Amino acid sequence: MIRVLVIDDSAVMRNFLGRVVASQPDMELAGVVSDPVLAIDRIRQSAPDVITLDVEMPRMNGLDFLGKLMLAKPLPVVMISSLTRHGADATIRALELGAVDYIAKPASLEEFQGAAGEIAEKIRTAAQARVLRRGRHVPAQRAVAPSSVSFGRSTGMGTIIGVGASTGGVEGLRTMLTALPGDMPPILIAQHMLPGFTGAFARRLDTICEMSVKEAEDGEDVLQGVAYVAPGGRHLLLARRRSSYVLRVTDDPPLNRHRPSVDALFQSMVESAGAHAIAVILTGMGSDGAEAMLELRRAGAKTIAQDEASSVVFGMPRQAIALGGAQEVLALGDMSRRLKELCAQGPLA
């Protein structure tokens, strides 16, 4: 049984989340408390497997509590987030601090009922996650870019990098991207994330990376030194326009239950870049990206999957490895080094 502790200052949310947990055959409610101060004693008493945590609460902010928890007693935490810019920014910070996932706070009774199944699945995923003790330090501003950086230059039909991630991917992408120089080939990112949160994610990365990071827009040219994040709820695809690459952002149906989908991104790279591509699959639940990564490998692309020891959830990398799509399996801390090595060899193909 998965023991769940609910921490939320809203009586409505406490009641709703408590009922969701109690209705699942594989879960039990370890407690329901209104603020983190009360939660400290409850954690000691009931030893929960997963915590759901609101951000804005009395006596102690949810982010402050999360930072202390990850230092003292790391546990899988699912954040309860409001669909506001402030809420999205706070959620991204929470994921950097060690939260496994987040749930967008429903706005109506109808949305409450419709979200129950998704919430239960996120709690189950969190219960399987690998959570490590960590400090609260995360980079606060962009590092100084080297003088050789040339932002905004077209890459023609040269090397292009695609990255797919899900649960744990926010921290994984931060770790990888902040270690890359600003003159890297373009990077296209499909991170499973809801609308309203990808903009905050891209803005946050842009402040701490040497590369420029932005939310992708339909029809824009693909430029060196820029990482493009798929907008939440939309697919990001790579296309050709004459002798250069261009982005397509579409509302096509979900693929593997996801939009954005890693398979959709990687499949478009098979068609548009082929052997010029480098594909990376990071931590995440499920199998999204595995089949298209195999197609990329067969097309001559370089393909890399994150290893189990450094993954929060090993589902997506495991499937890519099992299908034979991953040429290399690397720890998260080695990803940026390997990407720099591959790109230093010159344009692929």
DSSP 286: S
Q: Annotated catalytic residue: which of 8, 206, 288, 307?
A: 288
Alpha-carbon separation of residue 319 from 141, 146, 288, 326, 328 (angstroms): 35, 38, 8, 9, 13
Q: Which long-range contacts (CB under 8 A, 24 or more apart) does 16-23 make?
A: 16/106, 16/112, 17/52, 17/80, 17/119, 20/116, 20/119, 20/120, 21/120, 21/123, 23/116
Q: What share of the chain is helix, strand, coil (3-state, %, to 5)?
A: 40, 20, 40
Distance CA 120, CA 103 (A): 10
Cβ(48)–Cβ(31) below 8 Å: yes
In Å, how far are 84, 98, 222, 226, 319 from 248, measured between CA atoms?
26, 32, 10, 16, 27
Q: Do 294 and 198 contact (CB within 8 A), yes or no?
A: no
| Active-site position among 192, 235, 258, 276 | 192
Is 166 catalytic? The answer is yes
Query: Which position among 34, 166, 212, 268 bears the catalytic label?
Result: 166
For the chain, count helices (H), then strands (E). Answer: 11, 14
Paired tokens of 1: 């049984």
Q: What is the DSSP string of 170-233?
A: HHHHHHHHTTS-TTPPPEEEEE---TTTHHHHHHHHHHH-SSEEEE--TTPBPBTTEEEEPPTT
Active site residues: 166, 192, 288
